[in-house]
Amino acid sequence: MRKIASSAATALLTVGVLTACSPSSTDAKSGATAKESAKPTAPTVEKTTKPGGGLKDGRIGDAGTACTLPVSFEAPKEWKHTGFTGEDNEFLNKWAGHRSVKVACELSASRIGVIGFIRVYTTDGPDKSPRQVLETFVAEEKRVSDPQYTETKLGDLPAAEVVYTQRDALLDEPRTRRGLAVKTTKGLTVLHVEGAESDDPKAVIPAYEQAKATMRATT
């Protein structure tokens, strides 16, 4: 497996990444104790984006951006935007356990020091509703509890949203996850918030809400 395999696996394991703390030290003269903590840099996929990467008019998903999708939406310019090829997709889906969708794009907040991602998946599924696609997606996740689904529309596009709890594989601690499925004539798209800081209120959640508010079908 080429370089993307190891780097992509590292990125997918960021769900369990923790803030590391060094042992406390005591000053001999003052007796004061200080703790030194260091937050690890979020691993990122080392693969370069597809030709014509970046954003077009602040949006991702249109032709000429890092990821060509059935939908486009506004994305944070300071985040890293990575598109995936078929070979990358096969490895990532096998690692993540998703068989019903194909991973198409990753938006990473690692450049601003946050371990949070919005991963974008696609599927043809012309006979399935957004909720059905989302239910299958969540069923493929592990250690999931209490999924709450809401059927809605984004503009004139049928959509469904889910919020659920997932226990961290390494720490056995609960984390809030959320995802969105939207349907167009080109197929269905799933946006899923992932990472150790998936519920970050200053960067990750606003980026997810921005994507929802600016969603539209690509031409």
Residue 43 pLDDT exceeds 90: no
| CATH of the structural domain 3-13+50-217, one choice from 3.30.420.130, 1.10.3720.10, 2.60.40.10, 3.40.1000.10 | 3.40.1000.10
Nearest to 88 by CA among 193, 3, 190, 192: 3
**Is the four-CA dihedral 205, 210, 211, 212 of positive or negative sign?**
positive
Q: Encode pLDDT of 83-109 as tens digits.
A: 987 777 677 666 666 778 988 999 999
Q: Could you tell me the CA-to-CA distances from 126 to 15, 156, 183 in Å, in that order?
A: 31, 17, 9
Task: Check residues 174 and 20 and name the one with the higher pLDDT.
Answer: 174
Residue 62, both tokens: 């249109």
Per residue in 143-179, pLDDT tens? 888 899 999 999 999 999 999 998 776 667 788 899 9
The Cα angle at residue 192 between residues 89 and 152, in degrees rounded to 5: 125
Enumerate the domain spans of the chain: 3-13+50-217
Return the SS3 of 3: helix
Pairs from 138-146 (Cβ < 8 Å, separation ≥ 24): 138/162, 138/164, 138/179, 140/97, 140/98, 140/99, 140/100, 141/97, 141/166, 141/177, 142/97, 142/166, 142/169, 143/167, 143/168, 143/169, 144/177, 145/174
DSSP states along 14-29: GGG---EEPPPEE-TT
Q: Give 51-70 pLDDT, tens digit per residue.
A: 345 677 789 999 999 999 99
Q: If pLDDT is split at 50, 70 and 90, which confidence band does 182 have?
A: very high
Tell me what percent of the residues of the chain surpass a pLDDT of 70: 68
**The residue to which tokens 């690890």 are assigned:** 40
Q: Look at 1-5, 171-175, 193-197 and tell me which has the smallest mean pLDDT.
A: 1-5
pLDDT (0 to 100) of residue 53:
53
CA 72 to chain centre: 16
